[in-house]
Structure 1
């Protein structure tokens, strides 16, 4: 199947380095010291405390 895809016009194989960078076409923000995070639906005034970060209009819980 990969051979069929690679024959499509404009298709090319990504290097291992490029594969690590790509994440659904977007880069994940580096929050929580790189330990990982999940978005939670808290308002900005409620989004505070240990392990909670407000970033770009969204509240995240660190893990």
Structure 2
């Protein structure tokens, strides 16, 4: 192999490594975002449930 072929192989390997690290980083960020949105969704559901129950209890007190 001449110097150009070795340099080309090295560049391809470096590009593959960078692409792989970007892909794995974006997967981790996607997982983290999905976790945050899941927690936020459950917090919203729980707050709606609490407000609905409080309103129902208040209606029972009035009537």
TM bin, normalised by shorter chain, reads under 0.3
Please identify which structure carries the higher helix content: 2
Richer in strand (by share): 1
Q: Who wins on radius of gyration, i.e. which is larger? A: 2
TM score, norm. by length of structure 2: 0.18
Which structure carries more relative contact order (alpha carbon 8 Å, separation 6+)?
A: 1
**TM-score w.r.t. length of structure 1:** 0.18
